[in-house]
Amino acid sequence: MSETVALKKDSGGSAPGATPLLELRGLRVAYGAIEALKGIDLTVGEGEIVALLGGNGAGKTTTLRTISGMLSPRSGEVLLGGDRIDGIKSHDLVRFGIGHVPEGRRVFPRMSVQENLQMGAYRFKSVDAAQLGRVYELFPRLAERRTQLSGTLSGGEQQMLAIGRALMGKPELLLLDEPSMGLAPLVVQQIFEIIKEINAAGTTVLLVEQNAAQALALADRGYVLETGSIAMSGPAREMLADSRIRAAYLGEGAV
């Protein structure tokens, strides 16, 4: 899959003329002399789930870290609702309505489940009890373990906690980095069902995943990154049926 192919011209998931919720324009990011993103363009429309696929080292995590202000682009723009946000510090971007669930979960192991969730609400003067209740409703297992130290949770429970903690900031845009990594198939299915519920409740999602089948089955649209460039993009259903995607990511022979 070295040839850049667009399955369909992207509309950004928005009505004609509407401003995408998130837009990357010519985004270039480098680690020293190594260019990790090579001028990518990407849009996420309000209310969409967009999947960002690619192998290890393709630039997926770099893309999310740049959107959330953890990395600064060498050139290009990151726009949220039409306003540039590149250059804004990550802790300030939370106030713009961006929630980021990083790869590896990164819960606070010596804090309880509830304390972790309360940390997610740091942008507010106080914890919204109603929002906390919604998180517990979404993740009943966390409610059962609210006083348990987070470091003693299973991998799946820690992933639920990481997502719940991000939701405590009431994000308009949720960035998810490999939420299925290292989890049992049954837990993966639960996580993806929860992501669907979160989106149905009004949160836009940009999902980084190596599990292409699960991600494209859930998403509205998708992009494939290869060595820092967009190699393919289009409606998720069309991408899921494309022989090149199936050969590269689903272990099936190309036809």
pLDDT tens, residue by residue, 63-86: 999 999 999 999 999 999 999 999
User: Taking all residues of the chain, what is their mean pLDDT, rounded to a whole number?
Assistant: 88
Radius of gyration over alpha carbons of the chain, in Å? 18
Give the whole-angstrom CA distance, residue 255 versus residue 242.
9
Give the whole-angstrom CA distance, residue 76 versus residue 250.
32
Q: Given 152, 170, 188, which residue is the final one in a domain?
A: 170
Structural domain including 231 reads: 43-72+87-97+173-254
pLDDT band at 137 (very low <50, low <70, confident <90, very high): very high
CB < 8 Å & 24+ apart, contacts of 243-246: 244/1, 244/5, 245/53, 245/212, 245/216
Contact by Cβ (8 Å): 166, 101: yes
How many domains is the chain partitioned into structurally?
2
pLDDT band at 8 (very low <50, low <70, confident <90, very high): very low
Q: pTM (2 decimals)?
A: 0.88
Question: Per-residue pLDDT for 13 more than 70?
Answer: no
pLDDT band at 16 (very low <50, low <70, confident <90, very high): very low
Residue 171 has a pLDDT of: 93
18 vs 33, more confident: 33
3-state helix, strand, coil in the chain (%, to 5): 35, 25, 40
Contact by Cβ (8 Å): 228, 57: no
Structure tokens at 108: 């606070």
Domain match, 178 and 160 both: no
CB < 8 Å & 24+ apart, contacts of 240-247: 240/212, 240/213, 240/216, 242/7, 244/1, 244/5, 245/53, 245/212, 245/216, 247/1
Q: How far, in Å, are 22, 144, 198, 223, 241 from residue 12 at the CA level? A: 9, 40, 20, 12, 20
Domain match, 149 and 165 both: yes
Domain match, 64 and 117 both: no
> At residue 155, what is the residue type?
G
Give the whole-angstrom CA distance, residue 160 versus residue 89.
26
Question: Per-residue pLDDT for 11 more than 60?
Answer: no
30 vs 127, more confident: 30
Residue 103 has a pLDDT of: 86
pLDDT tens, residue by residue, 207-255: 998 888 899 999 999 999 999 999 999 999 999 988 888 887 766 554 4
Domain match, 216 and 132 both: no
Contact by Cβ (8 Å): 123, 168: no
| % of the chain with per-residue pLDDT over 90 | 70
Give the whole-angstrom CA distance, residue 240 versus residue 246.
7
Asked if the structure places residue 152 within a domain, the reply is: yes
Other C-beta atoms lying within 10 Å of the C-beta of residue 188 = 18
pLDDT band at 1 (very low <50, low <70, confident <90, very high): very low
pLDDT tens, residue by residue, 170-197: 999 999 999 998 888 999 999 999 999 9
Domain match, 123 and 180 both: no
